[in-house]
Structure 1
Amino acid sequence: MEAVRQPLSLVRELYAARGAPADGDDFGVKDRFSELLADPAMAAQVPVLTEDTADLLPNQCLVRFRGMVGDMLNPEYYVGELQRADGTWATAKYADQLDEAVPRQDAGSTRIAERRPLLLVPVPAESAWAVAPRAEAARASLTGITGSEAAAASAGAGKRQRDAGAREAAAPAPAGPAEEDVSMSMMVSDATGQTTADDGDSAAARARQAGGPPPAAGPQEASSAGAAAPGADLPGGCCMAYVYDDQEVKLNDVVEVVGVLSRVPELAAAHMRQQEGGQPSSMLLDDILASHLPTSKAPRLHAILLSVERESGAAAGMPLAAADVAQARTRTLGFLSQVLGGDNLAAEYLLLQLLGRVHHRTAESAVGTLALNLVAEPNSPAAAAAQQLSAQPVQQAQQQLSALGAALAAALAALAPRCLALPLSVGALNARPWWPRRDQNSQRLVSGPLQLAANTQLVLDEAVLAAGTLNEVGLRNLGALHTLVTRQRVGYDFEYFSLDQPADAPVTVLSLGRSLLKDAVGLALPLRPTAPLADAAAVQAAATSADLPPLRAYLAAARSADFAIGPDMEAFLQQELAGARQKNRDINERTFHTWMNLARLLALSHGEAALTRERWQAMRAMEEARAARLAAPHAVRA
């Protein structure tokens, strides 16, 4: 338990016991903590850091945090090791503060090291059923904190409130001139005069990394962070994680970090002095504060262990018996069909949509996901439902979904771990950028709705679209959606240039007639309900009463399963393509790729890891039924 309460003591013990130091050596810290946390009883004692638990956790204790990598700042330098007056060495790794004063920086008395700051944010668009158990586990994890520790936290020794910048600013002043401030001295700006907010994190450096020309300096770059509260653009529950090794982490990865919680009151004081004009503004100071938010807004977490969340059917715990797969598939189709008014064909396509994931990329496309357009035809029951606004409460009118769009989003959220529904109304499209963009004042990414973790179902509700004019932002939002649908990429705007980032978000478009994204959405399917369509409240009630965990496990296992096409099937598919083109010259390479993807997903939905002729023929039957609907009078044309 001491390793949880005082992890830095163990770190320093391992540092003192190290042999000859090696460059980049962590002196056995990762191995030791991995060994300790391999014991389930020990791992259960590590408290979980969330927005709700942050105020109750003691400073410098070991915590666990799960979030999405929302921004990756460039590596920063810090004082990694320092020499005491008696000639012995101490480590400042995994810490912002030391129990001893830091001496003046004489030649050879410090060693500068490097770490990578990651801004971790709560995973966007997570479904309620996925969030609730983690929130309960986070609350339960606080039982490891003793009564005295909890009392100290509540009294303010370790307590942080979201608006407690003034409380942190009231911390004791730094030490006198003979000793540098023990927390801020960890920054290289105090040690060498260079900024911790490395210029590599600026737009100019991003341009260099992308091979483009550096931007011309402008007045915005020299301006201060402004009067807005620091970190006001960030959602609650963020965390700044500092990574000390070269483990591969990508933007938008969902990660779990085990590390040392650190609060630095001096940061809040510096931000307040800057906002109040109590100290001269400079580019150096602005850069430092932009990259180092008050820990009341974003706690600092020095990562000892970091793992990237990967999809795994085994982790989902789904039994692979054929009977169980068949039952789960039938129940999933029944649930989706009920939402869609008994339209079994639409339920089949929606099931395959839930299983789609990117498994191969080219420069111009991503293979594996579907772009499904469910069409409510004019004067149909589906159109009547789609033209009604949802009864669900919303904060802004421009965020209102149609009744059918809200029900569809509720159904996907009941089955998928992440689901985001966006209304494609003129007001919503014009209101704000949906793509992430770089704020040159804060030197951080300002997130947008399209910055998503992998395996996020995206529902685009065009049924709320009315006459109006799209402004420049609205047109760019449509362009960003087109790129996401066709290439599974999102362009991140760095003001002077744009960088495309990969995405993995299957898209379902609900439209009245032909979609705005008609050239991007590959599969259009007119809805033909035979019963009343469900509304969002009915879907949520059904999801609450139904036993959905086995269905979610089935979908997770099928989505993450491997798949293969045998040599005999390759020859068969070549003959199929040749025969299909002889019958219909409109069938092209894109059509065949769509068929291949549908057949793969259909086989996976049956728990099969290889394509068979039976599944190919079943897919062709589905496509013929879809084509028949498209060919019907007054039907939308693909």
Structure 2
Amino acid sequence: MPTVHDWINNPLAVVDGLFAQSNSSPDWEKKVVEYFKEKLKLNDAHTWVPSLNDVPLYYLKPNSLVKFRCMVQDMFDPEFFMGVYETNDLTSNSKVKCGKYKDITVGGQVDFNSRNTVTSERQTFYCVPIPGESQWAKEISFICQARVVPSTSYVPNRHKRSYEEDDEMDTENKLRQSHGNTEPKRQETEAPSHDSSSAHCTSSLDLNFPLPGEKGPACLVKVYEDWDGFKLNDMLEVFGILSVDPALSVIADEREASSLLDPTEVTETVEEQRVHSPPPSLVPRLHMLYAQPLVHNNPLLPSNLSSVLGELASVRAELHTYLTHVLMGDSLAAEYLILHLISNVYSRRDVLPLGKFTLNLSGCPHSSPYTEHLYKVIQQLVPSSYRLCMSLHNMNNQRMVPRKDYTANRLVSGTLQLANNTSLFLDETQLEQGQLDATGVRNITALGNLISWQKVDYDFNYHQMEFPCNINVLITSEGRSLLPSDSQVNLRPTLNPPNLEEYLSAVQVAQVPSQFNKYRIYLSGARALNYTISDEITKAVEEDFVEMRKDDPQSMSAEDLHRLLVVARLLSLSHGQNTLSRDGWMKAKQLEALRISRTQQQKSLSGNEP
């Protein structure tokens, strides 16, 4: 049996071995996938596989098994390759070989006229690190995986052991002993200083990350089966064979030179060739063996939620106290912020997304860095987030909606190309007086559609294509936001610290890392709970609705009832309850009554506010 060193450090040997045993039977391809799936399931073996997110590319062994936590940013056209080919050596001996999971044919001259040649098809995804992933999520993922990274990731010339020399358990133990107390270097954003050519290429190559300032690896992921099951913007953990063969750059350069000399010989433009065939030292190829769809990217959340359910209520109380301090003593705003942070689009009824809860925190001070500190708090709590400062310059200049570039045949990313469950923090306090141009109007419209319908209309030049999403939007503003929201809470601080910045920093520092981890597990856990309403409670709610409209039909509209039901759902989930009780319904009504009362008082005070 192959050892850990074999199937992680030389997976192609396993693939070729299964191919050789198949005697041309097509079942060998399924056996390869099943083999690696089974290996990854045993003894947490997935933690032994080096991660492209954490280990610099130049430390990884070419053609080894690696993993990549990513988002599908673009999907290229399918490509053909030689799944099976025949080679002839100098002695005219022929040999049938497997071309799957490879970019370059090896071992002799390829006989293109061979009857044994099988042309196959594969799909290519352009994948990037999860946009806006929090530093804490990256670090915890790194710590969880780094304990048993195989040493051959760092020693490319280490000899492979034979199948008979040692068994898997011995290898695993040696891996643990060798690397239990050492941590590999974190992912570096630049190549070593001696590699000036790579550094030059980095500056000229646009990696097409959706968010400005993002760093990390991008990958061309080659998909061999069931690619229709993947969608744009999916979060995945891909396990695949790493391909960084320098010959790929040579081939790409030759194709580019050929197209410049005689454009009629090629079907791709120079721009398309550059995008689809970037240098493998900067954008490696990853031949997918298996991909695990990620519902969330919180590395702390256990797969079995029952282990954390008992603590939800107590952690909620602690989180509420913490957020009350962050919101300068405003307990009501802290309640609604918790509800917002656990909200989630759980279903769609026609075009209506159910479960979304966009919150507008109005009354935020403009002159102080309060919103910046508030975002840092959010960033410490959620696994992915992005703060968009809605200054006039940003609104008029930032590309928010992805668009199709037909010349390069790629989807040019935009700020709103985000993975599900990302927290989008819209800072409207930065919006000054001035004129929105056509781009600014389009961006405001796109934000409005995202909030109202949880969709982004991508620009394909001749038409728009609708992409549903599941993004938590928090809006901070001085007055009422110009954008729509599901709920508005006007901040009413009870504390007035002499130095707001020092106060907020002290509040954050007072929270130890273990406490933050409890909050992170709580928020992701509450969001993941299923929720139902019994027939009995449904009937009670209907009767209550009729009763509330008796005296004043204008006091409770169908829209008000819908919002109240959303608040009741989130309030129940926030307490770890997966069904609505009468007590929960009454608490939701009280909470909404307090919020509406405050909003009406603020309207009467401001007078001119809409």
The TM-score normalised by the length of structure 1 is: 0.80
> Cα distance 1:284–1:539, how it changes in 2: closer, same or farther (>3 A)?
farther
Partner of 1:256: 237
Higher mean displacement: 581-590 or 405-414:
581-590
* 1:293 maps to which of 278, 285, 292: 278
Aligned ranges 1:584-595 → 2 under 5 Å: 584-586=552-554, 587-595=556-564
Q: Could you say which residue in structure 2 is the equivalent of 1:553? A: 521
Return 5+ residue gaps in structure 2 as ranges.
160-189, 210-214
**1:133 alignment partner in structure 2:** 140
* Higher deviation after alignment, 266-275 or 106-115: 266-275
Alignment of 1:175-214 (within 5 A): none
Q: 1:529 to 1:275 in 2, by over 3 A?
A: farther
Matched with 1:610 is 579
1:305 aligns with 2:274: no
Task: For 1:126, give the aligned amino acid.
Answer: E
Are 2:572 and 1:634 aligned? no
Given the alignment, which residue of 512, 521, 524 partners 2:485?
A: 521
Could you tell me how far 1:543 is from its partner in structure 2?
Answer: 4.5
* Counterpart check, 1:37 vs 2:5: no
Change (3 A) 1:141 1:251: farther
Deviates more, 1:271-280 or 1:464-473: 271-280
Deviation at 1:34, TM superposition (A): 1.6
**What do you get for the CA RMSD once the two structures are aligned?**
3.0
Distance 1:118 1:163 in 2: 30
**One of 243, 247, 259 as aligned partner of 1:266:** 247
| Equivalent-residue separation in structure 2 for 1:569 and 1:473 (angstroms) | 48
* Residue pairs, 1:272-351, within 5 angstroms: 279-280=260-261, 282=263, 284-286=267-269, 287-311=272-296, 314-315=302-303, 319-320=307-308, 322=310, 324-351=311-338
Contact 1:68 1:120 in 2 (8 A): yes
Deviation at 1:161, TM superposition (A): 3.7
Letter in 1 for 2:289: I
Counterpart residue identity of residue 463, structure 2: F
**Distance in structure 1 (CA, Å) of the matches to 2:139 and 2:222:** 27
1:193-592 residue pairs with structure 2 within 5 A?
229-234=204-209, 236-246=216-226, 248-271=229-252, 279-280=260-261, 282=263, 284-286=267-269, 287-311=272-296, 314-315=302-303, 319-320=307-308, 322=310, 324-376=311-363, 382-383=364-365, 386-388=366-368, 403-517=369-483, 520-532=484-496, 535=501, 537-538=505-506, 540-544=508-512, 547-586=515-554, 587-592=556-561
Q: Which residues of structure 1 form unaligned runs of 5+?
A: 153-159, 169-226, 377-381, 389-402
Aligned partner of residue 477 in structure 2, secondary structure: strand
Change (3 A) 1:628 1:278: closer
Alignment of 1:120 with 2:103, yes or no, is: no
Task: Decide whether the 8 Å contact of 2:50 with 2:153 is kept in 1.
Answer: no
Where does residue 89 of structure 1 map in the other structure?
Answer: 96
> Does residue 1:15 correspond to 2:23, yes or no?
no
SS of the equivalent of 1:28 reads helix
Q: Give the whole-Å Cα distance in 2 for the aligned partners of 1:281 and 1:461.
A: 51
- The alpha-carbon deviation at position 229 of structure 1 amounts to 3.3
| One-letter identity of the residue aligned with 2:599 | L
Do the aligned partners of 1:342 and 1:529 also contact (CA within 8 Å) in 2?
yes
The 1:281/1:502 distance shift into structure 2, 3 A limit, reads: farther
Offset at residue 532 of structure 1 (A): 3.5
Counting only pairs closer than 5 Å after superposition, residues 148-167 of structure 1 correspond to structure 2 as: 148-149=155-156, 161=191
Alignment check: 8 A CA contact 1:45 1:144 kept = no
- Residues 326 and 140 (structure 1), Cα distance of their counterparts in 2 relative to 1, 3 Å cut: closer
Indicate if the aligned counterparts of 1:463 and 1:511 stay in contact, CA closer than 8 A. Answer: yes
Output the CA distance in 2 between the equivalents of 1:297 and 1:281: 28
CA deviation vs aligned residue, 1:148-178 (integer Å, no higher than 9, x gap): 42799xxxxxxx948999869xxxxxxxxxx
CA deviation vs aligned residue, 1:169-200 (integer Å, no higher than 9, x gap): xxxxxxxxxxxxxxxxxxxxxxxxxxxxxxxx
Contact 1:438-1:444 within 8 A present in 2 as well:
yes
Task: Indicate whether 1:99 and 2:67 are aligned.
Answer: no
Correspondence for 1:213: none
Structure 2 CA distance, aligned partners of 1:162 and 1:438?
A: 34
8 Å contact from structure 1 (residues 566, 610) kept in 2: yes
Match of 1:78 in 2: 81
Alpha-carbon spacing, 1:241–1:602, altered in 2? closer, same or farther (3 Å): same
Closer, same or farther: CA 544–126 of 1 in aligned 2, 3 Å: farther
- The offset of 1:522, in angstroms, is 2.4
Contact persistence 1:165–1:272 (CA under 8 A):
no
1:496 is paired with a residue whose SS is coil
* In structure 2, C-alpha distance between the alignment counterparts of 1:348 and 1:320, rounded to whole Å: 21
Matching residue within 53, 60, 65 for 2:63: 60
Confirm or deny: 8 A CA contact 2:402 2:459 kept in the other structure: yes
Q: Give the letter aligned to residue 76 of structure 1.
A: E
Give the Cα–Cα distance (whole angstroms) in 1 for the partners of residues 460 and 192 of structure 2.
Answer: 29
Mapped partners of 1:104, 1:529: distance in 2:
78
Q: Given the two structures, how large is their TM-score scaled by the length of structure 2?
A: 0.83
State the identity as a percent.
29
Q: One-letter code of the match for 2:520?
A: R
Offset of 1:343 from its aligned partner? 0.3
Q: Contact 1:410–1:540 (CA<8 Å) still a contact in 2? A: no
- Alignment partner of 2:374: what SS? helix
Quote how far apart the aligned CAs of 1:457 are. Answer: 1.1
Deviates more, 1:118-127 or 1:290-299: 290-299
**CA displacement at 1:272 relative to structure 2:** 5.0
Range 24-33 or range 7-16, more displaced: 24-33
**In the alignment, residue 34 of structure 1 is paired with which amino acid?**
K
Per-residue CA distance 1:246-300 (angstroms, 9 max, x = gap): 0521211111111110013233335556778994263524344432221122110
What is the distance in 2 between the residues matched to 1:35 and 1:561?
29
Residues of 1 paired with 2:454 and 2:204: CA distance? 34
In the alignment, which residue of structure 2 is the partner of 1:5?
9
Structure 1 residue 455, shift from structure 2 partner: 1.1
Q: Could you tell me how far 1:442 is from its partner in structure 2?
A: 2.3
What SS class does the counterpart of residue 38 from structure 2 fall into?
A: helix
**What residue identity is the alignment partner of 1:494?**
F
Query: Does structure 2 retain, via aligned residues, the 8 Å contact 1:14–1:29?
Result: yes
Contact kept, 8 Å, 1:435 with 1:477, in 2: the verdict is: yes
Question: What is the distance in 1 between the residues matched to 2:247 and 2:195?
Answer: 10
Query: Any idea what the Cα deviations from partners look like across 1:329-368, whole Å, max 9, x if unmatched?
Result: 1011111111100100000000000110001113432110
Change (3 A) 1:277 1:17: closer
Distance 1:275 1:80, change over 3 A: closer
